[in-house]
Amino acid sequence: MSEATQQNLRRPAPVVILVRPQLAENIGMCARAMANFGLSEMRLVAPRDGWPQKSALKKGAFSAAAGATHILTAAKHYDTLDAALFDLHHVYATTARFREQAKPVQAPAIALPEAASRVASGQKVGLMFGPERTGLESDEVMAASSIITFPVNPDYASLNLAQAVLLTGYEWMRAAQGDVLPFTMPEPSPPAAQGMVGQFFGFLEQELDRVRFFHPEGKKPVMMRNLRNIIHRMAPTEQDIRTLWGMIDLLAKGGKKPGSKKPGSKNPLAEGEAPAVTDA
Amino acid sequence: MSEATQQNLRRPAPVVILVRPQLAENIGMCARAMANFGLSEMRLVAPRDGWPQKSALKKGAFSAAAGATHILTAAKHYDTLDAALFDLHHVYATTARFREQAKPVQAPAIALPEAASRVASGQKVGLMFGPERTGLESDEVMAASSIITFPVNPDYASLNLAQAVLLTGYEWMRAAQGDVLPFTMPEPSPPAAQGMVGQFFGFLEQELDRVRFFHPEGKKPVMMRNLRNIIHRMAPTEQDIRTLWGMIDLLAKGGKKPGSKKPGSKNPLAEGEAPAVTDA
């Protein structure tokens, strides 16, 4: 992870408010989803089984959190929604159902970039999620400034609580720092420059001429063009070209002699050598 | 749901391949996540407990699928990965871990739009997910053309199987048909046009003048500008303006007389009447 990513993850982020959550295990899974995407402040409004909970229940939450226990440990408990929202400047209510309320309804990919600008300008932003079975009640949605809903297949619209937190967190992280991936394609070898690829084509053409691959001769231009397109499309690295060169060379020479370590031919692009651009 | 959305959901979509999945319940949750986002073809490669499963196990899958049982019923079982990928043109492997493999590594928001173009051009596309505990093995990743990984917080990078399917499905649906939400803000009243808002300001100014709100007089222009900005920022509907008009009017008149149904004043914008733009 880059220094910049680390710093972004320490910056202010929206607060997640779970309203009347029912199952400790789901609270734990929400904590895990938050941790996946750089959210850390959880508020619990009147959780059905209380909080802190009896040790057996709490254990369920902590085990479902899969390592994100710091979020559960720091979670604050509120008796009322008003108390939980008191210091927030803008609250988004998530809901899967249509509400007869004159509030903007936004997709997460629209709402979270907006939330990120609010956070960047110093506002405290809340993301509010209702209980597992029923979702937020209308009075609870009323306390929010905007509604987030998900672009789901309306025939199967029900997301579970942790999944709603997950999608919201995903768009938060994308909005706050873009699609920064934890890893990218390894680049063991630099991409082959045109000159190197051209040398390879020269060698390939010479060997294919030798075995009379281009038959009838009139088809040669089309066939060479096709071969060149195949090679260019694979965006070869220098190592790829050396591998192909060695392969063609060995096929052309009929194989290594027993005991020999190198193919019989000299490969001008042998590993470690800088390819010289010649007009061979 | 619009006709267009319905049609999009019936169009070809990527196949989800679960490689060596362990728990029936997770297979069910994957089916549900697929249904949420318009994916319907599931392939199972060597599930740990077999498939079709003993009825108790299968019950777990079907109950976790929360209604998306048609996907489980139609799921195909394969003994080998090669067999499961046989008819596919482009396969994406999802993985949370860095692989020393020279393949493009893409965020879901890049990979799924690309997958959507492939599907649109007639290709069969596969999305491959590894077993819960370990993810895909290197040999399995090798069978794919590209790698999808998620822009997670690297300190909490582990997504569970159904969550990985969920995020991938979410980006599929966004790519295939955009952020089409199941509902939007209700519009019970059209937005108020400038003329109606202007009439309201005229009325408001007159009433505020009467109660000497603008004091000292020199501050009036700034105060009126602030009030206008407040009203414009709320993007009022015609109904909003009528409500505000009635409220101001009643406050100014000192309340309804007992028994009266209407405020004492005449509100030129009373509900049902088209607002006349006058220079009152």
pLDDT digits (tens, 9 = 90+) for B111-159: 999 999 999 988 899 999 999 989 999 999 989 999 999 999 988 888 9
- Which parts of A190-238 are beta strand (E)? none
CB atoms B36 and A147 under 8 Å: no
Question: How close does chain A come to B180, measured CA to CA in Å?
Answer: 5
ipTM of the complex: 0.75
Query: Which of the two residues, B262 and B77, has the higher pLDDT score?
Result: B77
- For residue range B192-251, what is the model confidence (pLDDT) as tens digits? 888 898 899 999 999 888 888 888 888 888 888 888 888 887 788 888 898 888 888 888
Chain B's closest residue to A10, CA to CA, is B153
Query: Which of the two residues, B11 and B258, has the higher pLDDT score?
Result: B11
For the stretch B226-235, what's the b/e string if a residue is b when 16 or more beta carbons lie within 10 angstroms of its beta carbon? eebeebeeee
- The span from the CA of A120 to the CA of A89, in Å, is 13
Q: Is the pLDDT of residue A222 over 50?
A: yes
pLDDT at B80: 95
CB atoms A163 and B163 under 8 Å: yes
How many C-alpha atoms does B160 have within 13 Å on its Cβ side? 20
CB atoms B156 and A32 under 8 Å: yes
Q: How confident is the model at residue B278 (pLDDT cuts 50, 70, 90)?
A: very low
The mean of the pLDDT values for chain A is 84
3-state class of A147 per DSSP?
A: strand
Contacts A155 to B, Cβ<8 Å = 1, 9, 35
* Percent of chain A residues past pLDDT 90, beyond the cut: 43
CB atoms B152 and A9 under 8 Å: no
How many C-alpha atoms does B152 have within 13 Å on its Cβ side? 23
Chain A's closest residue to B182, CA to CA, is A154
Tokens coding B58: 């299968």
Contact between A26 and A94 (Cβ < 8 Å):
no
Q: Is the pLDDT of residue B274 over 60?
A: no
Question: How close does chain A come to B68, measured CA to CA in Å?
Answer: 8
Contacts A156 to B, Cβ<8 Å = 32, 35-36, 67-68
Question: How close does chain A come to B218, measured CA to CA in Å?
Answer: 33
> CA-CA distances (angstroms) from residue A49 to A52, A78, A127, A155, A277?
9, 13, 22, 32, 74
Q: How far apart are the first and last CA of chain A?
A: 46
Chain A's closest residue to B146, CA to CA, is A185
CB-nearest to B35 from A68, A153, A180 is A153
- For residue range B42-77, what is the model confidence (pLDDT) as tens digits? 999 999 888 765 555 667 788 888 888 899 989 999
pLDDT at A55: 59
Chain B's closest residue to A146, CA to CA, is B185
pLDDT at B279: 37
- The span from the CA of B82 to the CA of A42, in Å, is 44
Average confidence (pLDDT) over A240-256: 84
* Residue linked to tokens 């303006």: B241
Question: How close does chain B come to A216, measured CA to CA in Å?
Answer: 32
Nearest residue to B127 via CA among B95, B102, B79: B95
Contacts A150 to B, Cβ<8 Å = 36, 170, 181
Average confidence (pLDDT) over B176-202: 83
CB-nearest to B102 from A105, A153, A185 is A185
pLDDT at B235: 80
- The span from the CA of B162 to the CA of A74, in Å, is 27
CB atoms B110 and A67 under 8 Å: no
Q: How confident is the model at residue A188 (pLDDT cuts 50, 70, 90)?
A: low
Q: A-B interface: how many C-beta pairs under 8 angstroms?
A: 151
CB atoms A184 and B158 under 8 Å: no
Chain B's closest residue to A35, CA to CA, is B156
Chain A's closest residue to B96, CA to CA, is A182
Contacts B180 to A, Cβ<8 Å = 151
CB atoms B150 and A181 under 8 Å: yes
- For residue range B10-50, what is the model confidence (pLDDT) as tens digits? 689 999 999 999 999 999 999 999 999 999 999 999 998 88
pLDDT at A280: 33
pLDDT at A278: 38
pLDDT at A43: 97
CB atoms A186 and B38 under 8 Å: no
Contacts A109 to B, Cβ<8 Å = 174, 179
Question: How close does chain A come to B248, measured CA to CA in Å?
Answer: 21
CB atoms B179 and A109 under 8 Å: yes
pLDDT at B9: 60
Average confidence (pLDDT) over A201-225: 87
- Please say whether the dihedral angle defined by the alpha carbons of residues A153, A159, A162 and A168, taken in this order, is positive or negative: positive
CB-nearest to B105 from A35, A155, A181 is A181
- The span from the CA of B79 to the CA of B99, in Å, is 25
Predicted model pTM: 0.78
Mean pLDDT is lowest, of A28-37, A52-61, B138-147, B256-265, for B256-265
CB atoms A163 and B100 under 8 Å: no
- The span from the CA of B202 to the CA of B196, in Å, is 10
Nearest residue to A27 via CA among A19, A36, A37: A19
- The span from the CA of A162 to the CA of A117, in Å, is 25
The mean of the pLDDT values for chain B is 84
> CA-CA distances (angstroms) from residue A156 to A46, A97, A112, A215?
29, 12, 23, 58
pLDDT at A194: 85
pLDDT at B188: 67
* Percent of chain A residues past pLDDT 70, beyond the cut: 84
Contacts A173 to B, Cβ<8 Å = 151-153
- The span from the CA of A280 to the CA of A201, in Å, is 10
CB-nearest to A103 from B5, B147, B185 is B185
In this structure, are strands B90-94 and B146-148 parallel, antiparallel, or unpaired?
Answer: parallel
